[in-house]
Amino acid sequence: MPPIAGGLLETKGISTRTITSLLRQSIPTPSTKSLVGSMSMQASKKYKNFDKPQQFYMNSSNSARESESHYLPQKHQLVNHLCSNDTFGSRNSPHQVSDIQYCTLESSSVAGSYGIRQSPSISLSSTTGSSVSQHDSLSDNTYGSPASVSCLTEDPNDLKHKMRELETAMLGSEMDNGDSFETTFDRQLFLEPEKWKLLEIVRGDLKKGLIACARAVEDDDLMMAELLMTELRQMVSVSGEPIQRLGAYLLEGLIARVASTGSSIYKALKCKEPTSSELLSYMHILYEVCPYFKFGYFSANGAIAEALKGENAVHIIDFQIAQGSQWISLIQALAARPGGPPRVRITGIDDSISEYARGSGLHVVGQRLSRLAQSCNVPFEFHAAPLSGDKVHVEHLFVHPGEALAVNFAYQLHHMPDESVSTENHRDRILRMVKSLSPKVVTLVEQESNTNTAPFFPRFLETLDYYTAIFESIDAVLPRDHKERISVEQHCLARDIVNVIACEGAERVERHELLGKWKSRFRMAGFSPYPLSPFVNATIKSLLENYCEHYKLEDRDEALYLGWKNRVLSVSCAWL
């Protein structure tokens, strides 16, 4: 798609400068009423096909204060009232509007020509890990009141001002960026009363503002969406309260969705940032401060150990082995089994995300687990299957007769595209394939969230609710000034948030389902529930004693539910 500017007129042989000149010669000096009416008509035409917002990208840093600078607003603000006799203070003069552009990922250059002018994106991550220095803080934004409507018409330069707006309405982004404040102000002149009221509500409630912005995006009301985004930029912060930090990433997702760059941002975050050693460090911090991963690993290992009890040869297939950390405790437990350990074989399935995080291929995982097994006197063999889960077929799994088989899906099955994405429906195909191997047990650990087939707006609300609990739980452990907390949230959580909000179709890979839907899929594939032993439940309860009291564990419907306060976050169950 070509850049949107004044090119539409020029393709018909009329230059934009010619149009401007003709307009200035032909339009008489209007009265107050006719001028405002004319401008209202022009603005409505302009925003009917409003340009998509643009994102700018640059490097960002690891320091909390420098990272926060990416989320600070420009020096101008949306005006608060239409009719006021006050004049703007000098810091709010349109001639002093800062032209600094906040920048994030280089991948967003694909959106470079489709921008809402002066609507820079907030920062998710960078390509180098360094940052531009922070510029003016929120306290530098002096709130002023606009001139009244009468002042607009009595000012001797008003016609020039309105002509400039008329040119902008016709010529779009060919106009220079210096009129950013003026156009933002004039857009508000044409808001319906209920939208004025909404803007006032948003200024005092970040959560309501995020929801209103998502609704505007859903309704394709891009003028309102941009006004709300301008307000929200002043309210979010990567070093603030949980809702402010989450709001920063949700806002990035909304901007990316409007600009149709969600996939580019997701891929850049997945593949380029940060280095593998840094990412491992951030993942380890999240693993230690929140019990979600330990909950999943311990509950799955308990079910596997119970199902494989008494077997002499066991084979475990892990559908995303990552670092292989889940199997350390299981190998140690099997080594202590009365009568001696069984022969253990692990097939590790991998994808580019895990390989990038490790900084190397699956052989590193095999070597690590082999050394551990040798130290525990456990006969061990490792097989690598370096491909994404939806590409797996029976021939990749190295199944041998006489082995007791266990299959593990820990926070992985929701990445498989289902019938809503692909006619192949890999989600159900994989389950049928696994069932055909007659496993002793299949373990499932997933986020308890409904983002798979939900339309955009309900999906946004679900994401807001789910990740509010996640960010609150992190806040209970890591202090606001923790030097690596921002990086942990950016690189371990933000990528998924942006993908859920900004992407659709095959590009949206974060597709969570509730346990009820997973149960239907497992039953259709021929599985029956495998009850978890009371020992697993007791182990998880003991684990949670080391964490905040707000974590809740519930054993019901043949599954374990882990939640934060009243929100269920993860669920674990087993099948045979």
Q: Give pLDDT, residue 268.
A: 54
Report the distance separating Cα 336 and Cα 150, nearest Å. Answer: 86
Cα–Cα distances in angstroms (integers) from residue 386 to residues 353, 362, 363, 368, in the given order: 11, 7, 10, 17
Report the distance separating Cα 49 and Cα 55, nearest Å. Answer: 19
Question: At a CB cut-off of 8 Å and minimum separation 6, what does 251 contact?
Answer: 122, 210, 213, 229, 232, 233, 236
Q: Give pLDDT, residue 116.
A: 37
Cα angle: 399, vertex 400, 403; to 5 degrees = 105
Query: Where does 460-566 show beta strands of DSSP type E?
Result: 551-556, 559-564
Q: Give pLDDT, residue 6.
A: 36
> What pLDDT tens digit does each residue of the chain (576 aa) get?
433 333 333 333 444 444 344 344 444 433 333 333 333 333 333 333 333 333 333 333 344 334 343 333 333 333 333 333 333 333 333 333 333 333 333 333 333 333 333 333 334 433 333 333 333 333 333 333 333 333 333 454 554 454 455 444 443 443 344 444 444 444 554 566 667 677 777 788 999 999 999 999 999 999 889 999 999 999 999 999 999 999 999 999 999 999 886 556 555 544 346 888 898 999 999 999 999 999 999 999 999 999 999 999 999 999 999 999 999 999 999 999 998 999 999 999 998 888 888 888 999 999 999 999 999 999 999 999 999 999 999 999 999 999 999 999 999 999 999 999 999 999 999 999 999 999 999 999 999 999 999 999 999 999 999 999 999 999 999 988 788 899 999 999 999 999 999 999 999 999 999 999 999 999 999 999 999 888 888 999 999 999 999 999 999 989 999 999 999 999 999 999
